[in-house]
Structure 1
Amino acid sequence: MRVAITGATGFLGGHIAETFAGLGWELSLLARSSDRAETVAHLGRTVVGDITDAKALDTLFAGADVGIHLVSNFRSASGPPESYHQTNVRGTQEAVGAARRAGVRRFVHCSTIGVHGHVRSTPADETSPFHPGDLYQETKAEAELWVQSEARKPGMEIVVVRPCSIYGPGDTRMLKMFRMLAKRTFFTLGACRENFHAVYIDDLIEGFRLVSTQPGIQGEAFILGGPRYLPLWDYLVTAASAAGAPPPWMRFPYSPVFAASVVCEKLCVPLRIEPPLHPRRVRFFRNNRAFSIDKARRSLGYDPRVSLEEGMERTVAWYRSQGLL
């Protein structure tokens, strides 16, 4: 099978490319620069270009059976706000257009559980309303709604994936948390009773393999998460244990810290400075993120097998092998 992947040099894209190449699939991989393209050149044909570069996208999708769209502008205050729409919305539109022109059979769009925001009815599923809580989530929701409208058109199958919080070897986004837990400097806000749902990278990759190959799922959306969600406090205790540390011992009230984060954001963002205290990070302690993966189990045969305990231990082992922890 021939697969084109945008975002192929990122954490998720790189792992998907490694796995799919190992299956003997023929890959076409988009990278933003020549330097980044070199990191995945051993896995398939590389195309250098921006996600809004129609010519590069036409080259990427040419001859592909399946397209997997992973590129997104995650979260950074250092870039202009319009960059979120440029990458997350316009980039998605350009990718879908190029895939259609190339005659791609199936297009897999990677969205996020963040489109649901704070889950009001536990657990949320694919039919739960969208309540995005920041610019990243708003533009991802806008992109997904547009993709859903495209799925109603003939000519190309479109499937949406909403991953839960991704972690595993190779991901450094959680490194700061593990370092603070190991040094016993990590603090919590409030009681940490809300739920958190993570997914280990290997389980998520298997989910992407399934949505790339399973027949009869045109126009569907699937939440892909780990075996279970759990209270945030239990998540943090598990992470601390994997790092060889006791549970976090510092706890502060939520409301005053959140108020301070709002002020901090208003001061820093106009100056293109990453806020040291960001409302999004503070809301980590208050938002409920509990999701059902029953639809994926039923329709795809999705069966995540890596427990949070095992996944955290593997992640910490990788950090240590790289001298990061």
Structure 2
Amino acid sequence: MTTDHVPDTGGSAETTASLDLPGKYASLTGQRLLVTGAAGFIGGALLRQLAAYQLDVVGTVWREEEADALRREGFRCEVLDLLSDDPFDAYVQDIDIVFHVAAMFQETEYDEATYMKANRDGALKLCKAAAEAGVARFVHCSTVGVHGDVKELPCKETTAFNPMDQYHRTKLAGEIAIFDFARTLPEDGMIVTANRPAMVYGPGDMRMLKLFQRILSGKFMMIGNGKVMAHLGHIDDQVDSFLDCAVAPRANVHLEAFNIASDEPIHLGTLVDLIADQGGVARPRGRVPVAPVWLAGLICEILWLPFKARPPIFRRRVGFFTHNRAFDLTKARERLDYASKVDNPSGIAQTIAWYRDKGLV
């Protein structure tokens, strides 16, 4: 139930060519794995990587046409609607590990109550069904956005919550509800972990496409002063972090949340310059103030809501230019044995190459 659908892809974590399973993930062999949100960027990359490792994996998507597309690629796929009132039991029967990535995201035509039904109630219902079915692990994809505009830099998992919009508020509500339920399970019951991705990007990503397009076409204008912190998370690192959550000892991960990102945080202005440099274009210099753009986003959301259509600009996108994001990855390194492998220049170069190969920039 994400809107960042994965087009026909190739390379990086999206490859379907057979790969050797790294030794640290050997325990996944023989396990039955479920990936929800398999039509999205993150869920799709995870599904493809698990399949490339020749593991036993099935995906779920929101719509039948998405399932058909993945089936044509050779994946096993089912339709799971987090808004449905039907039981979710059938999806988790005989499953050993659930990677719950599906969420309502950037669906601006829906109100917060609908978001809550998907991102809290639907996620909790799936978690309960998994526990009842005897699933061994439930890895829940949350978001670093539960910390919102971070006031403590770098942000730790214990930093105060500060969700800024309906997506982040409902994702936080879902994470809390799942952990509250998991505390009621037996000591040897299902292991429950929350993985909080940062600003995930890389080959296959469509959410940051407009940013890359405007920079590489020379049409980009910075909203604000560009001094806020940005922390990218490359898709390859993000996929690895899910697998790290799935194999780490219970004592390290049960009822624990982990912030996940790549390389080091940088100023947003530096990120823009990196994209320009890696793309071989001049660095943009234009700036516009935040307030009028934010107000335009609010007005567009109000006007477009009755038509259940996505507005051309919305406040969450403006938040990209105003919210600080910088994360301390110490906990993930120590408890998950997580290590970022992709630095910012390399990841940005890969992303530009993929966009250009697909004729998107």
Whichever residue aligns with residue 153 of structure 2, its letter is T
* 2:82–2:117 Cα contact (<8 Å) kept: no
* 1:54–1:98 Cα contact (<8 Å) kept: no
Q: Which moved more, 1:60-69 or 1:74-83?
A: 74-83
The alpha-carbon distance between structure 1 residues 45 and 244, as it changes in their structure 2 partners (threshold 3 A), is same
Cα deviation, residue 43, structure 1:
5.5
Whichever residue aligns with residue 195 of structure 2, its letter is V
* 1:52–1:94 Cα contact (<8 Å) kept: no
TM-score (norm 2): 0.85
Q: Over the residues paired in the alignment, what is the CA RMSD in angstroms?
A: 1.8
Aligned equivalent of 1:99, options 104, 117, 130: 130
Residue equivalent to 2:215: 181
Cα deviation, residue 243, structure 1:
2.6
Number of aligned residue pairs: 325
1:70 matched to 2:106: no
Residue equivalent to 2:152: 121
The alpha-carbon distance between structure 1 residues 35 and 148, as it changes in their structure 2 partners (threshold 3 A), is same
Residue equivalent to 1:160: 194
The percentage of aligned residue pairs carrying the same residue is 34
Structure 2 distance, partners of 1:176, 1:27, is 32
* 2:135–2:190 Cα contact (<8 Å) kept: yes
Q: Any stretches of 5+ residues in structure 2 without a counterpart?
A: 1-30
Structure 2 distance, partners of 1:92, 1:221, is 16
Residue equivalent to 1:250: 286
The alpha-carbon distance between structure 1 residues 54 and 276, as it changes in their structure 2 partners (threshold 3 A), is closer
Structure 2 distance, partners of 1:124, 1:240, is 28
The alpha-carbon distance between structure 1 residues 322 and 73, as it changes in their structure 2 partners (threshold 3 A), is same
Cα deviation, residue 242, structure 1:
2.5
Whichever residue aligns with residue 62 of structure 2, its letter is R
Q: Which runs of 4+ in 1 moved over 4 A?
A: 52-56
Residue equivalent to 1:274: 310
1:220 matched to 2:256: yes
Whichever residue aligns with residue 92 of structure 1, its letter is A
Mapping of residues 73-92 of structure 1, within 5 Å: 73-92=104-123
Cα deviation, residue 67, structure 1:
0.5
**Matched position secondary structure for 1:40:** helix
TM-score (norm 1): 0.94
Aligned equivalent of 1:230, options 242, 247, 266: 266
The alpha-carbon distance between structure 1 residues 156 and 174, as it changes in their structure 2 partners (threshold 3 A), is same
Whichever residue aligns with residue 205 of structure 1, its letter is V
**Matched position secondary structure for 2:304:** helix
Residue equivalent to 1:310: 346
Residue equivalent to 1:30: 60
Structure 2 distance, partners of 1:44, 1:77, is 30
Whichever residue aligns with residue 274 of structure 2, its letter is T
Q: Any stretches of 5+ residues in structure 1 without a counterpart?
A: none
